[in-house]
Structures are given as C-alpha cells and as structure tokens.
Structure 1
Amino acid sequence: MTVTPTLDGDVLAVLANHDGIFTTGQLHRLLTRHSEEGIRKVLRRLTKQGVVLSDRVGNAFAYRLNRDHLAAEHIIGLAQLQKTLLERIEDRLESWEILPVYAAVFGSAARGGMAEDSDVDLLLIRPDDADDDRWETQVHELAVEVTRWTGNDARPLEFAEAELADRAYDEAVLRDVARDGLTVAGSRAWLTGRLRKRKG
C-alpha cells in the first residue's frame, strides 16, 4: 500500500495526519529512518512549492500542511490510506453470511510500515460451526479484494474458535495481534481473554 515511497511522502503523511506544527527535529524523531538534513531539504522544497507553510518559532522554523492548497485534499487522502483500508475491510466483513468471531489487520500494515513487497496480514477467527466451503469462499474473495485495493498480497491467517487453545506454535503471532493489531471485527478484549486462558 505504498503510493509515494519517498521522504517527501513520509513528511507529507505526518503533516497531513496532524493539525499541529512540526520543527525539523520533531519530524526527525517520528521519521527515524531518514536524516534530519534530508527532512530539512524536503521541507524547503515543499515550502517553495506552497504545499507546506513555514512559521518562525524562536530561532527555528515550524512547518504545517497548507490545507488550502489545491493538492491538500489528495495528500490527505493518500495519508489516510490505512484508515480507508480498515473501513473497507470492516464493511466487507459485516456483509459476510458467516461473520467472523474476531478479525484484525496485523504486521506492517497495522504498524504503518508497509513497503512495495509487504503483505497485508489478516487474522480471521471463524465460528466452530461454520460451513467450510462458504467460509473459504468469503476469505478468498476478501483476499482478492484487499490485494486489488492495495497492490499488496493479502495473507489471511485463519483459526476456528476452538483451535485457539491448541495452536501453541502461533502464540507469538497472536500476541503480536493482541498488542499491535487493528481490530476490524469483534472485540480485542475477546482475543486477549482467550490468550490469558491459553497461558493459564
């Protein structure tokens, strides 16, 4: 789900998702994989283009997205791709004939660190009495749609509800989902409760 895999895109994503102002140092603390000098150069260029506004604060400059710029609504839309993806997945899951007990997006798609070759990882917990064929059809259709929406492969990880007690080798994945996953169906409290029972 990478549309602008550049420093410009990362800087604009931060500015678009927040109404406040940021110094170069503050942006660098958020975008640690980029150098502060690189961020400064991008901000100068974007300010010259009018996409970003700069204000002097003491001895430093602070920057914010120019929300009146013609490109602003498109920049904001790109910055909110993760939110849009989650909303679409939630809508699809709500329309399923067999509703999942719990579902979440996890991994890099949840952390906001997706690259061109990243997968969209989905945890899907199905009811124990679900019809296997119908369930698998739903999952396949969702995976195809998510891939079409994002350009990244969708990788569903599926369990029946009763299987959670028996899948000790997936403990790390389930803990990751409980800690960082973004719930798109059901309740995170339900998952954490099941994990506590496994541990006990």
Structure 2
Amino acid sequence: MQLSQPLAVVTPTLDGPVLTALALADRAFTTGQLGRVLGRGSEEGIRKVLRRLAEQGVVSAEQVGPAVSYRLNRDHLAAQHIVGLASLRSTFLHRMEQKLAGWEQPPVYAALFGSAGRGEMRPDSDIDVLLIRANDADEVVWGRQVDDLVEVVTRWTGNDTRPLEYTVAELRRSGGEPVLRDVLRTGVTVVGDRSWLGRRLRERTV
C-alpha cells in the first residue's frame, strides 16, 4: 500500500486522492482549490470525479456565486469508512507507537524514513524503520522483538519492512551517516524525540 495515498487500496483512479482530501479537511473546496491541494489531475478531471461522487450522495455540492463548492457528506452511510481509509497513515503510526511501547525492551528512538517518511511511497516500496536501542539491551530479546515487528508491519501493509538498527553508542560513532541525516530531515518520529537524535548525530567520541 501507499501510506500517502491510502484509498489506492480500493481505487487506483483520481477518486482516491479526491476523497482523501475531502475526508481529511472538513471544509468545502472548488475544483480549482482541490486541484492545488492534490497537485495532480486536470481541473476538468477533478470536476468529473466530484460530479460522479455527488450523484452517489457521498459529496455535497453547493453553488457559491459562479463556482460550485464540494465537501464530503459526513452523514452518508459510506462516510465513516471513507474517513477511516483516508486516515490509514495516522492509524498506522498509532499502531506502530503502541506496538513499540509494548516491547519488553522498547527503543530509545524509532522513526519511519525513506519514501514512507517522505510520503512518496509506491505500492511496492519498502517501509524503512530506524530503531535505536539502549547499549545494555538484551540482544536476544531485542532481536525477537524486531523480527516480530517486521512480520506484523508487513501484514498490516503488504509492504516489505526494513529495519535499520543502532545502539546508542553506535549512533554516536556513526559520524552522521547520510541515511541518518535523511531520518533527521524527513523522517517521522514514532518513539522518542527528534532533537535527541540531532544531538547524538552531532556528538563525536574522543
């Protein structure tokens, strides 16, 4: 799946991004406004999608001067399911946070990075996860937890899950490897504090 295009799990057409935008923003849009939000699709293509959805009652249309504005009809029987699908990214992050918080030996810091962090996933993209463990963490317990996370996240999403692991000491010796700098710039923190990671990457062992 694509965390940034969650409705692609049920429709590969422009309907998915249109419904996602309407579901996540409880406001009305003209076709031009929606086109600027989406950054894709022609205004005529978006208008056709909105008209089709309005015919189904999923979208409400209102004439405002010379323009027509559209919003998700949240009283529609399908609305709660559309909102649920549109919110898959936040649902995924919440599940990840809960999963890691339940570990016997939780990470000091964890984040999504790569295309999942940047919101640029393709259907076949990996889900890259940075996991920083305490220096004294039991390696057997930690390894079992990571293996379970990989299996569970792949079941949740259908995507391969790729953990990148460091101890706190290894992080300090990393010298700010490019992949870690990428996490700092575009990663999505799941556990811990991004400023903590930034400080550790600036540290150097004597």
Q: How many Å separate the matches in 2 of 1:5 and 1:174? A: 33
Question: Which of 82, 87, 90 is 1:75 aligned to?
Answer: 82
Unaligned runs of 5+ in 1: none
Aligned amino acid, residue 44 of structure 1: R
1:84 lines up with 2:91 in the alignment: yes
Structure 1 residue 59: Cα displacement = 1.6
TM-score normalised to structure 2 length: 0.89
Aligned residue runs from structure 1 range 171-186, under 5 A: 171-186=177-192
Q: How many Å separate the matches in 2 of 1:175 and 1:36? A: 38
Decide whether the 8 Å contact of 1:82 with 1:112 is kept in 2.
Answer: no
* Residues 38-74 of structure 1, C-alpha deviations (whole Å, 9 max, x = no match): 2121111111111111112222111110101100000
Structure 1 residue 106: Cα displacement = 2.0
Question: Which of 42, 61, 69 is 2:68 aligned to?
Answer: 61
Counterpart secondary structure, 1:105: strand
TM-score normalised to structure 1 length: 0.91
Aligned to 1:8: 15
Q: How many Å separate the matches in 2 of 1:54 and 1:194? A: 52
1:37 lines up with 2:64 in the alignment: no
1:143 lines up with 2:115 in the alignment: no
1:25 lines up with 2:32 in the alignment: yes
Counterpart secondary structure, 1:121: strand
Structure 1 residue 24: Cα displacement = 1.2
Q: How many Å separate the matches in 2 of 1:32 and 1:126? A: 39
Structure 1 residue 93: Cα displacement = 0.6
Question: Which of 133, 149, 153 is 2:160 aligned to?
Answer: 153
Aligned length, in residue pairs: 197
Identity %: 63
Question: Which of 35, 40, 57 is 1:50 aligned to?
Answer: 57
RMSD: 1.6
Q: 1:197 to 1:6 in 2, by over 3 A?
A: farther
Q: How many Å separate the matches in 2 of 1:12 and 1:112? A: 17
Aligned amino acid, residue 177 of structure 1: V
